[in-house]
Amino acid sequence: MESQLHIYNTLTGQKEPFEPLNPPFVGLYVCGPTVYSNVHLGNCRTFMSFDLVNRYLRFLGYKVRYVRNITDAGHLENDADEGEDKISKKARLEQLEPMEIVQRYTLDFRAKMADFNTLPPDIEPTATGHIVEQIEIIQKIIDAGLAYEINGSVYFDVLRYSEGDEYGILSGRKVDELISGTRDLDGQDEKRNPIDFALWKKASPSHIMRWSSPWGEGFPGWHLECSVMSTKYLGETFDIHGGGMDLKFPHHECEIAQNKAAHGSHAVRYWMHANMLTFEGKKMSKSLGNSILPDELFTGDHKLLRKGFHPMVVRFFSMQAHYGSTLDFSNEALEAAEAGFKRLMNGLDKMKSIEVGSASNLSVKDYSDRFYAAMNDDFNSPILISHLFDLVKTVKVDGKEKTVLTQEDKDALIQLVHGFVFDVLGLKQPEGKAEAGDEKIGGLMDLILEFRQRARTDKDWGTSDLIRDRLKELEIEVKDGKDGAAWEIK
């Protein structure tokens, strides 16, 4: 019996059994990137975490509609509705059209996501493609008496909202504390209360990205696009909303308030937050100057790196931590992940050589139960990986304690392991490297080792060593044992 999937819901602070609203369909919305620069490794970790969620839900047989937006307007430099729009600023600095910036970094983002073998979303809506819907929802919130227009901008009235609802329900913040924590802007702030947030901002004459609205020319507030696009494609109530932990407040708190004000429901049933990638304990971010780009990591071309790593090693590194825990980046941790990843891939190859017999001396069901139990426990990939390593260690293809499986069990084991390693964890054999299990490679290796054995029988040690050394240069290690030579791709 497979256990049931439980998800840690950040809204309730509890691990809850996952019951989709309309099974077998699952609606999954994840906040996408703001496309004003290349995604760094921290961003990628969050998207790999939700790729694991998406993959496992599909693996369980759910029909997932995965929506991940592209923020191409409205994200200002700070959370207090001040500063420049990040995309407009980059466009101004580089003397490009904002949409050139958007296109360049959207393409970069998609390419990196493909490098990390993440499945693309089913819908990838953009903020600029949903201005009409955003204007409509603002009007609804104004009509509900929970937003006000002033000088061509529209703000959400947090105090009014908190008379009937709890603003801070997700992040645990209290309105009083938020008010006392805001800066005094010497009356410059046009908001009724400094904790109100923008739904629509009037565009200054120099602001390039602007649209007409009932309140004049302007642009939408960043929080609004996610409320609009999630409910447009997944319904006014939907299953899972994810994002990085740093988006809990204010972004997701504001989403909840907007949804409640516009539709009367909080919209999201399970809130999931992925934790941060850190470097020496500090969040990896552009502004702290400690960010590493995926390409820098692949090539090793970065002052903090000792060498380059394959994208699958980086993905494996990411999967070795639970999505809800922080993960600290270091050369040592990556090198350890590299060794672990190779061990796992070699272990998979080894399974193909398991001896077939009339009875099995290993329980496939036992491993299957353990794999499912790990993933059903809030997508616990590190525990899954530890069970996979346990299996790899237990399986023996030679010696007295050799593993023997019936053909049926052997097929089931290989299918199970491939399912969890390739479909769920999203790993794949690095390209350019032959799969040791590949039939042609296997045949060629048998041939080469046969010639080497002949040389050894003739006491032609020079040829025997030459073959071994040349294979080593190709990262294929030959080990001589009492039952003959075995080989392994390193």
CB 189 within 8 A of CB 31: no
Q: Please state the closest distance from residue 256 (CB atom) to ligand AMP, in A.
A: 16
Determine, following the binding rule CB under 6 A, whether residue 250 of this chain makes contact with ligand AMP. no
247, 292, 364, 374: residue in contact with ligand AMP (rule CB under 6 A): 247
Tell which residue, 155, 142, 197, has the closest CA to residue 175.
Answer: 197
Question: How far is it, in rounded angstroms, from Cα 26 to Cα 24?
Answer: 7
Which H or E element spans position 123?
Answer: none
126 touches ligand AMP by CB under 6 A: no
Among ligand AMP, Zn ion, none, what does residue 284 contact (CB within 5–8 Å per kind)? ligand AMP
Residues 254-283, interacting with ligand AMP (CB under 6 A): 276-277, 283
Contacts 24+ apart (CB under 8 A), 442-451: 445/476, 445/487, 449/478, 449/484, 449/485, 449/487
224-243 residues in contact with ligand AMP (CB under 6 A) are: 243
* Contacting residue, 34, 88, 128, 230, with ligand AMP by CB under 6 A: 34
Task: Indicate the SS3 state at residue 190.
Answer: coil
Give the ranges where 9-60 is alpha helix by DSSP (H): 41-59
Q: Which is nearer to ligand AMP, 9 or 106 (CB)?
A: 106
What is the smallest separation between the CB atom of 133 and Zn ion, expressed in angstroms? Answer: 15
Judging by beta carbons within 10 Å of its beta carbon (0-12, 13-18, 19+), is residue 187 exposed, middle or buried?
Answer: exposed
Cβ neighbors of 29 (< 8 A, separation 6 or more) are 67, 68, 69, 226, 229, 230, 233, 234, 238, 240, 241, 242, 268
- Taking the C-alpha atoms of residue 267 and residue 238, their distance in angstroms, rounded to an integer, is 6
CB of 243 to ligand AMP, least distance (A): 4
Taking CB under 5 A as the rule, does residue 226 contact Zn ion?
A: yes
Query: Is-contact 381 427, C-beta < 8 A?
Result: no
Whole-number minimum distance, CB 266 to Zn ion, in Å? Answer: 15
- Contact residue for ligand AMP among 131, 178, 268, 284 (CB under 6 A): 284
Taking residues 28 to 57 in sequence order and writing x for each that binds Zn ion by CB under 5 A, - otherwise, the string is: ---x--------------------------
From candidates 20, 27, 33, 311, binder to ligand AMP by CB under 6 A: 33
Residue 152 or 324: the one with the smaller Cβ distance to ligand AMP is 324
Rule CB under 6 A: which residues touch ligand AMP?
Answer: 31, 33-34, 42-43, 45-46, 243-244, 246-247, 276-277, 283-285
